[in-house]
């Protein structure tokens, strides 16, 4: 599917992987709507890319519907997410906070589904493109933690594992509508969370990757998003973008 002239929705577009994706899509000619809860940053990025910002809580289906009002997306990229850290049982013998676990699931998994399913309905109602009858592309963000969750990542890994498992059945559901569904499972990327760490810590984390031995760049994530959109044979798959890293227990 071409990008130029298409309406795109990017959640978590105010920073990190989402921001890089929003900027890439805008540069390629898409009309980008950024969904985020950080209004100040989201509005600033939207202004810079001649897009629009909508204050959306992806875990709330009504908020998503309100954000999509008046839009006709052909491209949907979900990058909104959180990464809480907590062990199943902590050193003091306390069980994992249930509310924290639920929050991770609500934002990372249910939020991804809310956006994808509602965008899919809008895509399915649009006219198909030749030659394959394409109507849209949905790209969700999983994580290598879906496959190698580390100590303290029970909630995060469960939520991202759900995103990975969602990919194929959703692609099968939407095949007759000409809507493709993919997921990217990034490894260690230089997002705001890691940017706040000392440089030596960043370098140490990046060195865990076999090749290249560094943290990924958000623009490299965005580059894969672009390829997925433009390659019609990519459907129903989770692509690891991780420099061959396999996460250790801690």
**What are the catalytic residues?**
156
For tokens 């939520």, the residue is 159
What is the distance between the alpha carbons of residues 37 and 79, in angstroms, rounded to a whole number? 12
Q: How far, in whole angstroms, is CA 133 from its chain's centroid?
A: 25
What is the distance between the alpha carbons of residues 166 and 238, in angstroms, rounded to a whole number? 10
Q: How far, in whole angstroms, is CA 7 from its chain's centroid?
A: 17
Residues in a beta bridge with 79 = none
Rg of the chain over Cα atoms, rounded to whole angstroms, equals 18
What is the distance between the alpha carbons of residues 91 and 106, in angstroms, rounded to a whole number? 26
> Which of the 8 DSSP states describes residue 119?
H
Query: Do 121 and 170 meet the contact criterion of CB atoms below 8 Å apart?
Result: no
CA distances from 107 to 102, 103, 112, 160, 161 (A): 9, 6, 7, 10, 13
CA angle, residues 173, 177, 181, in degrees to nearest 5: 55
Which residues lie closer than 8 Å to 171 by C-beta, 6 or more apart? 180, 181, 182, 235, 236
């Amino acid at each position: 599917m071409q990008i130029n002239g298409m309406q795109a929705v990017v959640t978590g577009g105010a920073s990190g992987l989402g921001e890089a994706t929003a900027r890439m899509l805008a540069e390629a000619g898409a009309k980008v709507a950024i969904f985020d809860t950080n209004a100040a940053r989201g509005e600033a990025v939207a202004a810079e890319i001649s897009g629009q910002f909508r204050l959306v809580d992806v875990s709330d289906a009504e908020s998503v519907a309100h954000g999509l009002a008046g839009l006709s997306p052909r491209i949907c990229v979900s990058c909104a997410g959180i990464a809480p850290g907590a062990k199943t049982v902590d050193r003091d013998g306390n069980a994992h906070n249930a509310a924290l676990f639920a929050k991770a699931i609500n934002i990372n998994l249910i939020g991804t589904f809310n956006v994808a399913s509602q965008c899919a309905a809008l895509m399915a109602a649009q006219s198909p493109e030749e030659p394959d009858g394409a109507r849209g592309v949905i790209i969700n963000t999983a994580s290598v933690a879906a496959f190698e969750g580390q100590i303290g990542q029970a909630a995060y890994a469960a939520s991202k594992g759900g995103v990975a498992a969602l990919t194929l059945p959703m692609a099968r559901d939407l095949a007759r509508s000409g809507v493709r569904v993919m997921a990217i499972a990034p490894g260690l990327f230089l997002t705001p969370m890691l940017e706040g760490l000392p440089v030596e810590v960043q370098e140490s984390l990046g060195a865990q990757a076999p090749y290249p031995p560094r943290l990924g760049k958000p623009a490299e994530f965005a580059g894969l998003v672009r390829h997925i959109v433009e390659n019609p044979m990519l459907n129903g798959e989770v692509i690891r973008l991780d420099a061959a890293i396999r996460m250790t227990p801690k």
